[in-house]
Structure 1
Amino acid sequence: MVCVAVILLILRFISSLVVRLVLSLIFATLGVVIYSQRAALVDCADKVTNAVSTAGAAGEVSCTFFGRDVTISLDSPASTG
C-alpha cells in the first residue's frame, strides 16, 4: 500500500516536471520567434511613419512578417456620427 502511494507520488512529480519543461520550451521558442521579427517590426513602423509624414496618411504600405507580405492601409476610417 505504501509502495503504491510512493509510486503515485513519484509519477505526479514527473508529470509536473514534464509539463513545466514543455511550457518552458514553448515560451522559449515563442520568445526567439518574436525576437527574430523585431527588425521587421521596426522597419515596418519606420515605413508607416515616413508614409504618413510624406503622403498625409493616404495609400498603403507593404511590410514582410515571417516571410509573408502584409499590406497596411493608411486611409483614415470613415467617421460615423
Structure 2
Amino acid sequence: MLVRPEFGRVEDHKVDKPWGYELRWAITDRYAGKVLHVNKGEALSLQFHERKDEHQYVIRGAVDVELGVEGGELTTRRMQAGD
C-alpha cells in the first residue's frame, strides 16, 4: 500500500481554543506536534497522557508548567523563551 505524505502550511491546521490557538503540524497516535499560542493571563487544563511523547519549547514570554505523575504531587517549573 502506497501512503502519500500530506503537504501543507502549519497555518492551514490552526485550531482556535478558549485560551488562544494551536497550530498542528504532526498528529499520530503517539505524538502530537503543535505550536501553542496562549494569550496572556490564560491557562490550560491539566493533562495526562499514558502513551504520548511530549516536548515543550517556549518561543516568547514565560510559562509555568506543572509536572507530575497521575495522582501524585505536582512540581511547578517556570519556562522562559529558549527553554
Which TM-score bucket, shorter chain as reference? Answer: under 0.3
Larger Rg: 1
TM-score normalised by length of structure 1: 0.25
TM-score normalised by length of structure 2: 0.25
Higher strand share: 2
